[in-house]
Structure 1
Amino acid sequence: MADVSANPRADREENPLERQRELMELLSQETRHSIVQALLGHPKLLASSAELNHFVPSKSKKTVEEQLEVLVDAGIFALYEYPPNEDRRGLPWKFYGLTEYGADVLGDFNYLEGVPMARAVHRKTRKPEQIERHEAAPRPPLPESVRATFRLDEETD
């Protein structure tokens, strides 16, 4: 599981322009950009790999999973586990979600402005039964700072 408290930004504080360029390159790559958009549209901001694959249909499952790992390694996403689901057939127990650092980066690059549109697209997208089951599955909580960024506690489902 990724260390969600780590701040990869600290490695390059001495050259913030280089770090900004690297982040722009990281986020603008087509598959990663699509993954970030798919996650921002998710009502719980935590998605299984199957859910993300469904919302990035133009790429293979392997490609999506490789790019998820890039986002985790960069500290933008973390892998959140929910062990109670591990033994429940048909339910995911590993979810991808933003870290506090990831939420800050996306805020810095104005990705958060598009959250209402991403959520509307997510709601209107036709989902097969497996994806609906995954979306409804219990999942672990996000860090409080991430929940606050997206005002998750203020929303009703």
Structure 2
Amino acid sequence: MSIDDPDDSAQVYLTEADVAILTGIVGHPYRMPTLPELCWAAGEHGRDLVKRRLNRLVEQGLVEEVTFEDGAPSPKLPDRFFATTDFGSHVLDRRLTPERQRALQESYAKLEKPDRILRYERAPRPPR
């Protein structure tokens, strides 16, 4: 937990864009999307805002960047992914019931995704 976080994880302030990013992570089949997947899932928030808010979520200790130790298995595959930290999972658990988290995953699975997003979604992920 970062030094400026409140004692009660339910008191962590999240913007609408933060919630879109976190629900994009929770809804993802591996709970570890790439930046393009998050930008697509966040929709109207735009890439620049998603990148700024994602960096802020990393600084707050809610999200972490996960990479392959030796780089991506292929230059054509993504090598950076984003996942919730233990603290981020705790914050989400306080705000979203397990049923709601499952519903997000089911909704994400039913979305019609463009081919480029499907390629990112199907890419191998590093171990955590």
TM bucket, shorter chain: 0.7 to 0.9
Are residue 47 (structure 1) and residue 33 (structure 2) matched?
yes
Q: 1:12 to 1:64 in 2, by over 3 A?
A: closer
Q: Quote the residue 1:106 is aligned against.
A: 92
* Contact kept in structure 2, 1:106 and 1:112, CA below 8 Å: no
Q: Deviations over 1:84-113 (max 9, x none)?
A: 426422x21000001111111211233544
Identical amino acids, percent of aligned pairs: 25
Gapped regions of structure 2 (runs ≥ 5): none
Q: Quote the residue 1:69 is aligned against.
A: 55
Helix, strand or coil: the match of 1:85?
coil
Q: 1:72 to 1:12 in 2, by over 3 A?
A: closer
Q: How many residues align?
A: 127
Gapped regions of structure 1 (runs ≥ 5): 1-6, 143-157
State the one-letter code of the partner of 2:7.
P
Q: Deviations over 1:52-72 (max 9, x none)?
A: 011111011010111101110
Are residue 140 (structure 1) and residue 115 (structure 2) matched?
no
Q: Deviations over 1:19-69 (max 9, x none)?
A: 653x0x22xx11111111111000101010000011111011010111101
Q: Quote the residue 2:110 is aligned against.
A: 124
Give the helix-richer structure, 1 or 2: 1
State the one-letter code of the partner of 2:75.
R
Helix, strand or coil: the match of 1:46?
coil
Q: 1:108 to 1:20 in 2, by over 3 A?
A: closer
Are residue 96 (structure 1) and residue 96 (structure 2) matched?
no
Looking at structure 1, the residues matched to 99 and 105 of structure 2 have their Cα atoms a distance apart, in angstroms, of 11
State the one-letter code of the partner of 1:125.
L
* Contact kept in structure 1, 2:10 and 2:94, CA below 8 Å: no
State the one-letter code of the partner of 1:30.
E
* Contact kept in structure 1, 2:67 and 2:126, CA below 8 Å: yes
Flag the structure with larger Rg.
Answer: 1
The one of 15, 18, 22 equivalent to 1:32 is: 18
Q: Quote the residue 2:7 is aligned against.
A: 16
